[in-house]
Homo-oligomer: A and B are copies of this chain.
Amino acid sequence: MKVPSTELQDRVSNFQNRLQKSGIAGALLVQRADTLYYSGTAQNVHVYIPSAGTPIIMAFRDFLRAQSESPWVVIQLQGMSKIPKYILDTGLPLPEILGLELDVLPVNQFERYRKLFPNVRFVDVSNEIRLQRSVKSKWELARLDESAQLHTFVLEFAKEILHPGMTEAELEGLLVGKARSLGHGGYVRMRGFDAEFHVGAITSGARAAVSSCFDGPVTGQGVSIAHPSGASMAQIKSGEPIVVDMVSVVNGYQIDQTRMLSLGPLSKELIKVYEVARRVEEKIRCALVPGRVAGEVYEEIITWVRENTPYEENFMGYGISRVRFVGHGVGLELDELPTISKGSKVVLESGMVVAIEPKFVFPGIGAVGIEDTVVVVDELGAKYISMSPRELIII
Contacts and interface: CB of A to CB of B under 8 A. Distances in A.
Interface string A59-98: 0111111000100000010000000000000000000000
Contacts of A36: 225-226
B169 A181 contact: yes
The 5 closest A-B pairs by CB, nearest first: A226-B252, A173-B177, A173-B180, A177-B177, A185-B227
Interface string A231-270: 1010000000000000001111100000000000000000
A61 B213 contact: yes
A32 B196 contact: yes
A183 B109 contact: no
Contacts of A332: 226
Interface stretch (A100-108, A283-291, A351-359): A100-108
Interface string A316-336: 000011000000000010000
Given A181-B169, A225-B252, A228-B42, A103 B110 contact: no
Contact of A41 (B30, B60, B225): B225
B172 A212 contact: no
Nearest to A76: B320
23 contacts: A1-B225, A30-B193, A30-B194, A31-B194, A32-B213, A40-B225, A42-B225, A61-B211, A62-B212, A65-B211, A69-B225, A100-B107, A105-B193, A106-B107, A167-B181, A169-B183, A172-B177, A172-B180, A173-B177, A187-B196, A187-B227, A225-B251, A226-B253
Given A173-B177, A176-B176, A42 B227 contact: yes
Interface residues of A, number: 78
A124 B179 CA distance: 41
A295 interface: no
A185 B224 contact: yes
A355 to B, nearest CB: 19
B321 A212 contact: no
B213 A43 contact: yes
A178 B189 CA distance: 23
A110 to B, nearest CB: 5
A230 interface: yes
A174 to B, nearest CB: 5
Contacts of A226: 36, 42, 185, 249, 251-253, 332
Contact of A62 (B1, B105, B187, B321): B321
